Every structure is written in structure tokens, then in C-alpha cells.
Amino acid sequence: MIVLGSKWVSGVVLAAALTAAAAEGPAPATPAPKAWTFAGDRDYETRVKESPRNKPLNAASLVLPHPAARNILPDPVVVEAGQYAVDYPDRDRIVWAVVPAGEATAAYLEKRKELLAQNKAADLVAWCEQNKLPACAEFELRCQLAGFQSFMAPGYRPLLARWLKLADARQADYSFPLPLAGEWTVMPDRTGHHRLKAGAAYAFDMMIVKDGRYFKGTGAALDDYYAWGQPILAQADGVVVQVIDTNPDEPPGRVGPFSGANWIEVDYGGGILGGYGHCQKGSAKVKPGDRVKAGETLALVGNSGASGYPHLHFTMLDPQNNSIRGRFRCEVRNGAGWKPIDGEDLRTETVVRNSQPAAGR
């Protein structure tokens, strides 16, 4: 969703802002050169194969599953060295994290059994934090958040705030190009609406700006907006896992329901997916199960759902559909020129484009 203030656009009716106070996003990370790989250097199968979760364990480990995979792995379990974390072809779909097993994790499993039997899930999170088991604390928070049907439900926001403090410290293992061609502005999240839900905490809203404006003419029509109808591109080769394509596009200035956004989701392997929202009705070029290549068009930028104005909402995701703090390879406008980045966050209020080939190539 995007809400535009007078600093950004004039001449159109402003969208209704969320009433929640804005929440600060994570501080930009300092890249760790050996901690990530460019997604374009690996194909889908290699990213799946190279994931540490898809290899035998080097040591006895506590395996923490995605809450959505409880039908396969209901609870955390200790797995011995030399074994796979779980008997499943792509373990990233089942396993969220693996941590070394020891006395602390054994105590956690005992305390977990005790406190959950007493319906004291909040006490369990506090216990994990006090005993310096951040992965276990985050796992328990993820389990609790997964139990809510809506991010607007009472009790959701305090849990989310605790989860964000832990999730902010991590970034994706792969760096990705942008899902768009040409020059785009990374919009500021002035209402903090992304940070109100686990599925969008590290999302970005992208628009095209020309001469300080987002539209031609009055901005009263959807096709006045420069972003309208632009191709949304696969960021790497992968497998399409979800397509929602039948919701109507709202007129400019009208915010539709959250459930009304058209959506494309692609599994890029290695436990990372890309989610693309507010797509134009009927514009999907793919269907679930399709294999796509990097740069292939998935759909077109639209204005469906809680959008307000045509733009692309996108985020990297895990198989639980929780937003991941991404890494990106692209170029950022720097004065009259461009500065390349790789393995870094996108900063809001910057103009970005995908990396251009070197001269002569």
C-alpha cells in the first residue's frame, strides 16, 4: 500500500492514511562480503542444493520448523550429526532455522513442554530471551504470530514488535536484482504500514518519477501514472507458487481492501521467495507451477487492493510468508551519475535501476 502526502504529489485526492503511528525500519546493514551470494550466479536447482538446510548436519542440532509445516515437523527436534534435518526433498520449505544442540537447547525443549502445557507461551519467549537463545525466542514468536488471522487483531502488534527486534538483525543469504526495468523511486513508508505486519515488514513501494511528478495530466486516470502497466520481472529463475489475478484495480485516490490485492509469488530456492503486490487485473503472464527465468515478465504494475495509486509493492519472503530483510544488486542515483551497490538494503527516497552492463559489453 502507498499513501502520498503533499510533499510528493498534488492535484489528486489523497489516499486515506493508516491511523497507526509510523514505526522506524531497520538501520541499513553493513554488507558482509562472505555472507551472501548474488542470486544470478546460481540457478534454481543449485540454490536449493547449496542451502545448508538441504545438506547433512555437521553437528547435533536443534531443528526449528516453519510453523506452517507442522503437518510434517510439528515441534522443534534434535537431529544428530550426519543426518538431514528432516526427510523431505526441499528442507527449506520445512525448516526455518538450525542451531547447535547442547545443554541450553535441551533445557529449552524441557521448558517449552512445561510452559506450553500451562498455556504460557509469552513466558516461554521471555525465558528464551533471558537464557540467550534468540533463535528459539524468534521461533516461538513466529509460532504465535502465525496463529493470528489478521494483523489488525488485538494482541498482534506487541508480538510483532518483539519479533522485529530479532528479525531486523538478519538478512537474506542471496542478493537480488530489482523486479523492474528502468528508473524507479523507492518510496518512503510515511505511515509505517509495512512494519505493521510480518508479511510486509521489509517490503518496498516503487513508483516512477518524471520531473518531480508520478503522473501526467491531472492524475485522475490510472494510465496517467508512469508506473501503471509497467512489467514486473522475475528477479532470478524460479518456480511460481501463487497467482491472484482477478481483483479489480481501484481508481486513483481510492484505497481498496487489503484482501483485494492481486499477487504473484515466486520461489527462488534456498528458502527465499519474492512477492509482488497490487498487480493489474488480468495481467498475469504465469500460473502456479510455471518455471520462470530471471527478467521474465510475471505481470504488470496495477492498483488493486489497498494501494491508492499505481505502484509495485514487493518483498522477499520465507516459506512461512514472513517478510525477509533483502539484499539487492542495482545502481543508485548519485548526483548526475550512478553508484553500484550489491548485498545492501534499498534506501527510501532514492532513485534506483538495475545494474547496467559495462561499456563495450
Per-residue confidence (pLDDT) for residue 337, from 0 to 100: 96
144-152 average pLDDT score: 94
Confidence of residue 14 (pLDDT cuts 50, 70, 90): very low
The yes-or-no verdict on residue 178 having pLDDT over 60 is yes
Per-residue confidence (pLDDT) for residue 61, from 0 to 100: 98
Confidence of residue 257 (pLDDT cuts 50, 70, 90): confident
* 247 within 8 A of 318, measured Cβ to Cβ: no
Per-residue confidence (pLDDT) for residue 25, from 0 to 100: 56
* 151 within 8 A of 196, measured Cβ to Cβ: yes
209-224 average pLDDT score: 95
The yes-or-no verdict on residue 4 having pLDDT over 50 is no
Per-residue confidence (pLDDT) for residue 1, from 0 to 100: 52
Per-residue confidence (pLDDT) for residue 26, from 0 to 100: 61
| Total-model pTM | 0.89
Q: What is the CATH number of domain 174-353?
A: 2.70.70.10
121-130 average pLDDT score: 96
Instruction: For the chain, give every domain's residue range.
Output: 37-167, 174-353
Return the CA Rg of the chain: 21
CB neighbour list of residue 244: distance below 8 Å, 6 or more residues apart = 261, 262, 263, 264, 279
